[in-house]
Structure 1
């Protein structure tokens, strides 16, 4: 039997983890909620870079690594590929397709935080949907701006920012209500892809709002790449599944 290490932390990763049997391992970096409905083992915490991960693969007799981390978790993905090369273990990746601009969209592409701040200078009430990174910059908010920062976990508001704790998936009606209440004039987003957080882009389109979009990092090549959960699960050996005898 091939023992699987699943690198996760996303909703898609949880869908895969729920299908894995008890011999396999679901790995989380430590942020977010740890699922309690899995049959596979759950490991929380880092490995110590690619070298530490390579040692773990050898010591735990891992025969396949599946990278189902966030599309912007470039360091983790690079570590996984390097560790698999050293340990001579195949590496698969789930890489959901990026969103594509549609008619009526006003996307302003940026490469990093500095570019993002430059693009944001003309606006007053941005909605940040980047995760935790804006929290490190709350003391840098210009006096004419008020930020809303949506993150997974609660954090205190400041005089110039509202920290909104919320977890997707987000509905179209819910996003419409939020935008109407808060009066955003721009959305700041990663191009994460998938349906869970796409509604904000549709509401921005409806309201004629620009979207400052952080480009995806370039990720390393893997042995097999999948665009969807179903295709990846179909490719797994039957004994990997939770309902198989292990």
Structure 2
């Protein structure tokens, strides 16, 4: 029986785990960012491994045959650690990462590599929706003079890290109509997002297009040297080819 470790936390990971064929023993690993994660229907561990050495030790101790990195496209550290650990242990390794978004007619997108570039694009006095997650907030400390909104799944246990910011609690997915209503109610002028890809979170971009709002889009980081598949179907085919 093949033993597969899925580095999870995305809708693609959930879909993949639910579609695993017989003869595969799956363990999912979650970073532990969300306090009430969705039940994945398989053995699940929560928390970090302790770097590359910790992941190497886990892969060996649990006799993992295949490592699937289905983390968020911007989980850069985990993706690099997974590639290094797989190379060190000889475990078969694949990255499941959905296609990124591309602008369509009517979109007004400005691309950046790092969030510290946003202050040079968004004028002071604007209300800015940060669709980037609470882990990124420290990168917007140079955005004084703007009202910042950050949506989070769990009620925050700490105040916004600097003046001018506000948390909004909500659990995705959100429809285009819900996003239009939210942006209108909060008088949002700009959106800042990561190029996460996927249909579930595309609605905020569709709402921005409908309202004529400009978007600052962070480009994806480069991937390590490893096989990459873009869909669950392709990942299942890759797994089947491992014998």
CA contact (8 A) 1:129 1:150 kept: yes
Q: Deviations over 1:124-183 (max 9, x none)?
A: 1011000113543687652x4211111222226666322112222221111111111111
Aligned length: 236
The correspondence for 1:230, drawn from 217, 223, 233, is: 233
Give the 3-state SS of the residue equivalent to 2:213 in structure 1: coil
CA contact (8 A) 1:116 1:214 kept: no
Q: Give the deviation of 1:7 after TM superposition.
A: 0.2
Counterpart-to-counterpart distance in 2, 1:100 and 1:138: 24
Q: Give the deviation of 1:84 after TM superposition.
A: 0.4
The correspondence for 2:115, drawn from 96, 103, 113, is: 113
Residues 237, 189 of structure 1: alpha-carbon distance in 2 compared, 3 angstrom cutoff = same
CA contact (8 A) 2:116 2:139 kept: no
Question: Which moved further from structure 2: 127-136 or 63-72?
Answer: 127-136
Specify every segment of 5 or more residues in structure 2 that has no aligned partner in the other structure, as ranges.
none
What is residue 243 of structure 1 aligned with on the other side?
none
Residues 146, 131 of structure 1: alpha-carbon distance in 2 compared, 3 angstrom cutoff = same
Give the 3-state SS of the residue equivalent to 1:86 in structure 2: helix
Two-structure CA RMSD over aligned residues (Å): 2.3
Using the size of structure 2 for normalisation, the TM-score is 0.88
- Pick 1 or 2: higher relative contact order, CA cutoff 8 A, min separation 6: 1
Using the size of structure 1 for normalisation, the TM-score is 0.87
Return structure 1 stretches of 4+ with deviation > 4 angstroms.
137-141, 156-159
Q: Give the deviation of 1:81 after TM superposition.
A: 0.6
Counterpart-to-counterpart distance in 1, 2:139 and 2:218: 17
The correspondence for 1:28, drawn from 19, 27, 30, is: 30
What is residue 77 of structure 2 aligned with on the other side?
75
Counterpart-to-counterpart distance in 2, 1:137 and 1:114: 6
Give the 3-state SS of the residue equivalent to 2:2 in structure 1: coil
Counterpart-to-counterpart distance in 1, 2:221 and 2:206: 24
